Amino acid sequence: MSDIKSRGYANADKLVSTDWVAAHLNDDHVRIIESNEDPLLYPSGHIPGAVEVDWVKDLNDPLRRDYLDKAGFDSLASRIGISPATTVIFYGDKSNWWATYALWVFELFGHTNAKIMDGGRLKWAEEGREFTREKPAITPSNYDAPARDDSQIRAFRDGVLAHIQAGGQLVDVRSPGEFSGETLHMPGYPQEGAVRGGHIPGASSCPWSRAANDDGTFKNATELRAIYLDELGLNPEEPTVAYCRIGERSSHTWFVLTNLLGFGDVRNYDGSWTEWGNSVGLPIEK
């Protein structure tokens, strides 16, 4: 934790180190949660005591293009044995982009006692720490969450349209090819999901991965300010919207701007390019 505290973040308490996690594996007040893009990783080996939260099966409504509702979140939180007082620690693959996505969804339900393990699976593995295939024995709880609050950290299409018409700050965190309209997804992925390529007018291009080091940890505050404030010219005092293709990569940037740089009003537009690029009548740029 001392290394994290020294990096100059606005809210360093939202990150914990692998050392901290290793020291709290048997802490009854802590629940470690693995969230990955690749569903085969958790069963192949995970941090001892960690439970899995699958971004498709656990966080999304099976019929609507939306997240789970209060009843669904209560069921999920009860199944993984947490209470509102439990400190939840998220980690995963892809430099924690799915971990930040899961954390963002938990915060929609008011569970703000949530942190990211800096470096995710990669750092834990590179340090030679233990993985297990054994699933923990969890005593279910009886979680009663508040209704999901989409008003503070989530953006919707019409709100984004009004935001750009007012000249608001907008960050496109996809790859340069997606931003230019040459592709519809990152290299190595099926090029599908939208009928048009390009970006939302007025958006600045800053791929999410620029905020991460090679070992999956976050860059320090000085490096992050050089990217988002000096290079992109973002004002931490002004409302900011981040988007990608479906909202998962932009949750990583939302976490960086909100917790590491202290921006006061950042919203993740989870509809992102799959909604914007398929909507009739919405403007795009290439």
Eight-state DSSP code of residue 85 = T
Q: Which of 105, 145, 244, 257 is catalytic?
A: 244
Give burial (CB, 10 Å; 0-12/13-18/19+) of 178.
buried
Greatest distance between any 2 Cα atoms in the chain: 54
Among 246, 235, 175, 248, smallest CA distance to 205 is for 175
For residue 8 the two structure tokens come to 């100059």
CA–CA separation, 137 vs 208, rounded Å?
A: 35
Q: Is 206 a catalytic residue?
A: no
Beta bridge partners of 121: none
One DSSP character per residue, 163-187 reads: HHHTT-EEEE-S-HHHHHTS-SS-T
What are the Cα distances from residue 101, in Å, to 69, 84, 214, 230?
16, 19, 20, 26
CA–CA separation, 262 vs 231, rounded Å?
A: 17
Residue with tokens 């834990």: 124
Helix axes 248-255, 97-108, angle to 10 degrees: 80
Residues assigned a catalytic role:
244
